[in-house]
């Protein structure tokens, strides 16, 4: 990072340090997140023609992370309509076009890839950068095959956004965290389940406070010193689905 960008980042960090002490600001951000969840706000957006089911603030910070790391492999658990896969694939395509990465790939894993979604993803112009696996993200055969692909890559980023129960997310962390390259990131989505109004959580979902991605991440971080929470990205977004869920591999 050049000196001007470093100075720019320090300005941001300075602003964030003040916000961190502002209780009203924190209450405001949590209130907005509650409203977003109650009104299914994340379902309002698409990326290059595919529903992305992410809030714009997260998309903006995620592209910053991908620019910083310049990965040649992104692993994503959870596919849904494929918008997040297309998001990652278009970023990788640009990085490759800019000669900043070589032969990049985004892998998506989902226990149920609906046929109409698979057809739309495979027909998308970004499909050459996408590989999909159908099955449990913690199935040993799938984990082994993805691990083999990752072993041939230099810079790996992981997004966990499938089943949000404590047990499943903890199993995903144990399966995929070691694939993250040094200095790169693992992003656990929907950590806000631990913080938002329970009424904002869909009633047909099994996850809740204490049984969430954030509770799983807390348990995982107690077992390793290879990762540290990076608060910079989620704090500057104000409203995010990954508060406290962006961790950086440091050793």
Using CA atoms, how far apart are residues 108 and 76, in angstroms rounded to an integer?
5
Contacting residues for 81 by C-beta, under 8 A, at least 6 apart: 50, 51, 52, 53, 117, 120
- Whether the CB-CB separation of 237 and 64 falls below 8 Å is answered with no
- pLDDT tens track for 71-85: 999 999 999 999 999
Write phi, then psi, for 125 (nearest 5 degrees): -60, -20
pLDDT on residue 65? 98
- Give mean pLDDT, residues 170-197: 96
Strands 105-110 vs 130-134: parallel, antiparallel or unpaired: parallel
Mean pLDDT score across all residues of the chain: 95
User: The whole model's pTM is what?
Assistant: 0.96
Q: Which two tokens stand for residue 172?
A: 């995903």
Considering only CA atoms, which of 41, 40, 19 is closest in space to residue 29? 19
pLDDT on residue 60? 97
Q: Which two tokens stand for residue 219?
A: 């348990």
pLDDT on residue 206? 87
- pLDDT tens track for 146-160: 999 999 999 999 999
Domain residue limits at 26: 3-249
SS3 46: strand
- Whether the CB-CB separation of 155 and 71 falls below 8 Å is answered with yes
- Give mean pLDDT, residues 52-81: 97
Q: Is the pLDDT of residue 202 over 80?
A: no
Confidence of residue 21 (pLDDT cuts 50, 70, 90): confident
Considering only CA atoms, which of 78, 81, 14 is closest in space to residue 46? 81
SS3 222: coil
pLDDT on residue 4? 87
Number of structural domains the chain divides into? 1
Q: What CATH number corresponds to the domain at position 239?
A: 3.40.50.150
Task: List strand residue ranges (DSSP E) for 137-205, in order.
Answer: 156-160, 185-188
């Amino acid at each position: 990072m050049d000196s001007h960008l470093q100075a720019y980042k320090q300005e941001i960090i300075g602003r964030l340090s003040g916000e961190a002490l502002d209780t009203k600001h924190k209450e405001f951000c949590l209130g907005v997140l509650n409203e977003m969840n109650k009104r299914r706000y994340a379902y309002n957006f698409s990326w290059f023609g595919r529903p992305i089911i992410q809030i714009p603030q997260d998309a903006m910070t995620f592209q910053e992370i991908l620019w910083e790391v310049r990965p040649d492999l992104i692993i994503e658990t959870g596919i849904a309509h494929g918008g997040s896969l297309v998001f990652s694939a278009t970023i990788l395509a640009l990085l490759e076009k800019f000669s900043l990465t070589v032969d990049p790939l985004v892998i998506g894993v989902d226990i149920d890839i609906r046929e109409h979604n698979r057809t739309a993803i495979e027909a998308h112009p970004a499909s050459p950068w996408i590989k999909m696996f159908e099955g449990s993200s913690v199935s040993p055969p799938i984990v082994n095959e993805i691990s083999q692909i990752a072993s041939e890559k230099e810079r790996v980023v992981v997004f966990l956004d499938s089943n949000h129960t404590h047990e499943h997310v903890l199993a995903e962390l144990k399966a995929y965290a070691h694939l993250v390259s040094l200095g790169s990131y693992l992003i656990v989505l929907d950590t806000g389940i631990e913080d938002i109004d329970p009424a904002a959580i869909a009633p047909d979902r099994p996850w809740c406070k204490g049984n969430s991605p954030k509770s799983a991440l807390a348990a995982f971080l107690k077992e390793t010193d290879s990762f540290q929470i990076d608060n910079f990205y989620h704090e500057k977004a104000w409203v995010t689905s990954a508060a406290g869920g962006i961790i950086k591999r440091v050793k």
